[in-house]
Chains A and B, each alone.
Chain A
């Protein structure tokens, strides 16, 4: 297998093209500009369509139009731009249309800065836009995983007819790693629901407007049944050094990489620390965290935010064991040494208590 050296932003784009993405719509914003630039150069050559939109709002609505015809479509942005896309993501959920949305997160709120951050966790995992819906959220931690998850995101989006978000950050987008790229998808499943012009058949319409309250309620519960299926089939996580762990770190994306480095250092000193890395942030790997809480003495949650995923960890742990949070918001990227000190400190406290 041939390895190529690629940045995360290029990997998002190339993986999407190989997944059969036919339409990309986007608006420039740092730190994900290389993604759109790659699409502008390579997507038309692959028989697809690249449009630089006038705004993030327009981009997501172009995606809706393309997706309604059955085309695989993607848009990408970074935090402030993702806020603008929320209207369209809500409509995608209402219409039950697939679509892939990449968020290369940066510091916030407001314009914030252009450094890597994880402050959009709440927005991503709670639907983000208005109304009662969820969006599957993938959180890659390596460029190879960017390739694999982006490729897979199109299948998940099509299978469940739902928008799928990939939550990266400036670090994921900018760093380069060797990757193995998948083969290009040749045939896609026929989408019977797509609008193609009525031809000789009956006309169809897509509407999110359901004025009858009981019908709207029915639609809401129908979406919930779909979300239950997604929870059952698509929840993903990685366990690292968890077999004999007494203390577990929980982190995703860039912070999970850093936490891994910290655990490697601690293991050399015989500290029994491990890592649970959620790969899907929604659905959240609640079950494994709940299970783990029965056998470890403490959990430490690392995020490049002031504490968002820690709420989901607490909901999973349900007070069984203490959950410590350590966050670096604002675009600060922590180091393995920093994390290893935190884990070591908490580990020592457990030891003191039990001795």
Chain B
């Protein structure tokens, strides 16, 4: 069998990544770029990128992009989609962005059933600012702001925001996946495809939460990080389809 590395049409060429070795962003970027091409939406797509590590996503995605203030991505996406319903609009957000500072925007864009797709990268820490506690930080997990581990009595519990929005009737598709190996990557691509197809079919809001490695701030090797997602992170954040309200043909 001959393997061919086909460069996705909507991924910029000749760029050097700023993401750390083993980071999940690069993988998910690639999947999104492939799907832009496979679903033929790249020409009419606008991606709203967050504050955080993926603020530089416009360096990689070869589609129209709008940067958002921290947490406001789904509000901006609402404005884009309402002004131009013919465009394909998705946000790409991290856990701090989407489930801390942007919680209100996340909840209400989902509850309004905005016709947008949300790619939610959950790596359980604030990556760009240097590994502080996120709402998604696991109990006992050490971060720079929970030096002796996250203590639920003091710091609260990991927030399962995708489970929350999955209960809303306006949320058509919600799934949690993990980029923790080849199988996980394939499942992630399938989930994002379902989410994007939901918008293409005019059905409404979709969200995919991707458990993703941050070896730098987890202070692990990439291999250890992937293993940690599979063995530890998924026990707090179980994988699977959380909502599927697409009409079955």
Contact = CB atoms under 8 A, between A and B. Distances in A.
A73 B79 contact: yes
Contacts of A63: 79
Nearest to A54: B108
A91 interface: yes
Given A58-B105, A88-B72, A204-B64, A66 B43 contact: no
A346 interface: no
B57 to A, nearest CB: 9
Interface stretch (A110-118, A191-199, A248-256, A312-320): A191-199
Interface in A42-96: 49, 51, 53-55, 57-59, 61-69, 71, 73, 87-88, 91, 95
Given A53-B75, A205-B64, A87 B82 contact: no
Contacts of A71: 83-84
B104 interface: yes
A197 B66 contact: no
Query: Which of B43, B62, B66, B83 has the most CB atoms of chain A within a 10 A radius of its CB?
Result: B83
A23 B79 contact: yes
Interface residues of B, number: 37
Contact of A195 (B64, B75, B82): B64
B125 interface: no
Interface in B57-98: 58, 61-69, 72, 75-84, 87-88
B23 to A, nearest CB: 19
A69 B80 contact: yes
Given A58-B104, A197-B88, 15 more contacts: A23-B79, A53-B75, A57-B75, A61-B72, A62-B76, A62-B79, A62-B82, A68-B46, A69-B83, A195-B64, A203-B62, A204-B64, A206-B67, A207-B58, A209-B67
Contact of A61 (B45, B63, B64, B105): B105
Given A69-B87, A71-B83, A58 B55 contact: no
B79 A66 contact: yes
Interface of A: 22-23, 25, 49, 51, 53-55, 57-59, 61-69, 71, 73, 87-88, 91, 95, 195-200, 203-209
Contact of A49 (B43, B67, B75, B82): B82
Interface in B91-120: 104-105, 107-108, 112
Contacts of A203: 10, 61-65
Given A54-B108, A57-B72, A65 B61 contact: no
A73 B67 contact: no
B42 interface: yes
A128 to B, nearest CB: 15
Contacts of A58: 72, 75, 78, 104-105, 108
B160 interface: no
A64 B74 CA distance: 11
Interface in B16-49: 42-46, 48
A196 B64 contact: yes
Given A23-B82, A200-B43, A65 B76 contact: yes
A65 B48 contact: yes
Top-6 shortest CB links A-B: A65-B79, A61-B75, A62-B79, A197-B44, A205-B58, A54-B108
A261 B82 CA distance: 46
A140 B152 CA distance: 54
B45 A65 contact: no
Given A196-B64, A203-B65, A205-B67, A73 B83 contact: yes
A102 to B, nearest CB: 17
A51 B64 contact: no
Contacts of B83: 22-23, 49, 65-66, 69, 71, 73
Contacts of B104: 54-55, 57-58
15 contacts: A61-B69, A61-B72, A62-B75, A62-B79, A66-B79, A66-B80, A87-B69, A195-B80, A197-B44, A198-B42, A198-B62, A203-B61, A203-B63, A205-B66, A207-B65
Query: Which of A22, A198, A199 has the most CB atoms of chain B within a 10 A radius of its CB?
Result: A198
Nearest to A62: B79
Contact of B64 (A59, A66, A67, A197): A197
Contacts of B65: 195, 203-207
Contacts of B46: 68-69, 195, 197
A66 B63 contact: no
Contacts of B72: 57-58, 61, 64, 87-88
Query: Which of A62, A73, A209 has the most CB atoms of chain B within a 10 A radius of its CB?
Result: A62
A205 B61 CA distance: 10
Contacts of B63: 197-198, 203
Contacts of B82: 23, 49, 51, 62, 65-66
B43 A65 contact: no
